[in-house]
Amino acid sequence: MFKSALRFSRCMSVAATVAAISFTTSAMALDTVKFMAPGSVGGGYDQTARVLGKALVEANAAKSVTFENKGGAGGTLGLAQFANSTKGDPNALLVVGAIMVTAEEQNKPQITMKDVTPIARLFTEYNVLAVRKESPYKNLDDLLKDFKANPSSVTFGGGSKGSIDHIGIAELAGKMDVPINKVNYVAFAGGGEVVAQALGGQIKVITGGYGELGQYIKNGQFRVLAIGAPERVPGIDAPTLKESGFDVTIGNWRGVYGAGNLTAEQRKQVTDAVLAATESKVWQDNLKTNLWSPSVLTGDEFGKFVDEEHARLRAMLVKVGLL
């Protein structure tokens, strides 16, 4: 009886050890993950990379992470470097978004998102229109009256030419019957530069995701005049553009791609690691802090979504005169 119990105990112990090893191996799916953020430090690509990197480590889905920034051409320069240097490497991740789609449509680069592997769409972020605290624009009506009367006097600052930021302002101008060629939009490669220009007064209105601008809004350096969401967003004390009578939605999704030439097994390994990261506390906390709307989509469905985005955003670029 005692020997049987002892044998049973030992078997259970061995089984538990095997299970623990199996779980650890599965959870620690990736080694040192090398992130490519195809924009400057402080921008949306960079912020997404660094939060996801922390989440991967917290979820035991990666041992460690490193980051590289390569801005320019709407992210397609970073895309090209990533595609050329990571083929077949399951420990490499590239942050992507709608801005990269529009950049491909405009620049027609030799290397595109077709050369790398779709892993997961992560969230959608809606743009805010904000001004520095010293601005004479106290509300959206103040801004729109000035923009309508003298469009070129209002300088808007945001992401690269043809980005979601740019398209959104151009679409708003179209709804207001303001000629597109009168829109004074200044394009920047990264979030840090445009913030500095807006705080310095060189740019009258800044547009971008709340995640990039939230810290400046919370400490009173920027005042939000409107948000480009379909409806008001809890936590942002600002009306939507629709409330002012303009049916305009300005939003950007972000996700990650893996290296080109991944095997099916490697792709699953990377996808599982990213999904594990999205369940971590640090990721969930940042969704709330940055007011990111989770919209997870993986694998071939994500790839199909990106193909549809190419068609949708190409049509918008033509409509607003940017293509």
Q: In sequence order, what DSSP letters do the residues of 195-223 get, joined into one string?
A: HHHHHTTSSSEEEEEHHHHHHHHHTTSEE
Residue 323 CA to residue 162 CA, distance in Å, equals 8
Asked if residue 9 is part of any domain, the answer here is no
**CA separation, residue 219 to residues 131, 132, 193, 216, 275 (Å):** 13, 11, 19, 5, 33
Looking at residue 20, its pLDDT comes to 37
Task: Give me the helices (H) in the chain, please.
Answer: 2-27, 44-58, 76-85, 98-107, 140-149, 164-175, 191-199, 210-218, 264-278, 281-290, 299-319
Looking at residue 83, its pLDDT comes to 98
Listed residues 201, 223, 251: the one ending a domain: 251
DSSP 135: -
Looking at residue 27, its pLDDT comes to 45
Asked if residue 289 is part of any domain, the answer here is yes
**What phi and psi values does residue 199 have, to the nearest 5 degrees?**
-65, -30
Length of the chain: 323
Looking at residue 11, its pLDDT comes to 44
147 and 235 inside one domain: yes
Q: Name the more confident of 27 and 239.
A: 239
Instruction: Determine the average pLDDT of the residues in 304-319.
Output: 93
Residues ≥6 apart with Cβ < 8 Å to 38? 45, 69, 70, 71, 75, 76, 77, 78, 79, 82, 94, 95, 96, 100
Listed residues 251, 276, 292: the one ending a domain: 251
Looking at residue 276, its pLDDT comes to 98
Number of domains in the chain: 2
260 and 231 inside one domain: no
Asked if residue 4 is part of any domain, the answer here is no
| 3-class secondary structure, 41 | coil
308 and 205 inside one domain: no
Asked if residue 13 is part of any domain, the answer here is no
Asked if residue 287 is part of any domain, the answer here is yes
Residue 194 has pLDDT above 60, yes or no: yes
Domain with 275 in it: what CATH number?
3.40.190.150
Asked if residue 121 is part of any domain, the answer here is yes
> Sign of dihedral through CA atoms 103, 109, 113, 114?
positive
Residues ≥6 apart with Cβ < 8 Å to 97? 44, 45, 48, 75, 164, 252, 253, 254, 255
Q: To the nearest whole percent, how much of the chain has pLDDT over 90?
A: 74
117 and 263 inside one domain: yes
Q: Can you read off the two tokens belonging to residue 249?
A: 């939605």
**Segment 220-274, tens digit of pLDDT:** 999 999 999 988 988 888 999 999 899 999 999 999 999 999 999 999 999 999 9
What count of other Cβ atoms lies within 10 Å of the Cβ of residue 218?
10
270 and 280 inside one domain: yes
**Segment 70-123, tens digit of pLDDT:** 988 889 999 999 999 999 999 999 999 998 999 999 999 999 999 999 999 999
Domain with 184 in it: what CATH number?
3.40.190.10
Contact 306, 101 (CB under 8 A): yes
Of 71-85, 156-170, 213-227, 298-312, which gets the smallest average pLDDT? 156-170
Asked if residue 22 is part of any domain, the answer here is no
Listed residues 213, 232, 251: the one ending a domain: 251
62 and 121 inside one domain: yes
Residue 21 has pLDDT above 50, yes or no: no
97 and 186 inside one domain: no
Looking at residue 17, its pLDDT comes to 38
Maximum CA extent, the chain:
94
pTM comes to: 0.79
213 and 305 inside one domain: no
DSSP 188: -
132 and 120 inside one domain: no
Residue 5 has pLDDT above 70, yes or no: no
Task: Supply the range of the domain harboring residue 245.
Answer: 126-251
165 and 88 inside one domain: no
| 3-class secondary structure, 308 | helix
**What phi and psi values does residue 271 have, to the nearest 5 degrees?**
-60, -45
138 and 229 inside one domain: yes
115 and 138 inside one domain: no
Asked if residue 136 is part of any domain, the answer here is yes
Looking at residue 190, its pLDDT comes to 66
**CA separation, residue 161 to residues 22, 33, 63, 84, 203 (Å):** 48, 30, 37, 25, 16
